[in-house]
Amino acid sequence: MSWNNLFKRINKRKVGNEEIISTPNVRYKYFQKLKLEKVRFSGGGGNAPGFTKMLYPGYLFTDVVFKNDTLKLKEFMYLDEESHTSSVEINGKNIGALSKNKAQPVEQINGYMYYTNDDVKYALFSNNDQKLYLMK
């Protein structure tokens, strides 16, 4: 199998068999929790029963560094502290699973993706698989 991706690599031990390649250029600073919400999800289909989760709405603060510049990001997300499926770590600790919404299907945020090379004068950044930003 040949799989070319600048942002992710194959990891058979992870769900989905892929993980985001970590970089020191993406620095997760803080997750500001708002009031805890009780969210009811429908079952996964068929006769699967629904379930309830406690989620924190809030803001993920992140610094993205390219050369001498820093892009400061503040993005609204939901945090599930019980599950640790994202690669987002703050102070060396995985904070939990992050998502953009609280309805099914859940749009998971596994982390920010970043790529640069010494031979090019730009960096590529993405916060999901359908958007790509060029940083000069």
User: pLDDT by residue (tens digit) across 57-88?
Assistant: 999 999 999 999 999 999 999 999 998 888 89
Confidence of residue 2 (pLDDT cuts 50, 70, 90): very low
Residue 77 CA, distance from chain mean position: 9
Asked if residue 28 has pLDDT above 70, the reply is: yes
Q: Which two tokens stand for residue 108?
A: 């998971």
Asked if residue 1 has pLDDT above 50, the reply is: no
Q: Where are the domains of the chain?
A: 8-12+26-42+50-135
Percentage of the chain surpassing pLDDT 90? 52
Asked if residue 113 has pLDDT above 80, the reply is: yes
Residue 26 CA, distance from chain mean position: 11
Q: Looking up tokens 């809030």, which residue turns up? A: 58
**48/29 Cα distance (integer angstroms):** 38
Mean pLDDT of the chain: 86
Confidence of residue 50 (pLDDT cuts 50, 70, 90): confident
Mean local confidence (pLDDT), 2-11: 68
What is the rounded (10 degree) CA torsion for 2, 126, 72, 104? Answer: -110
Confidence of residue 12 (pLDDT cuts 50, 70, 90): low
113-116 and 18-20 as β-strands: parallel, antiparallel, unpaired? unpaired
Bridge partners of 41, per DSSP, are: 51
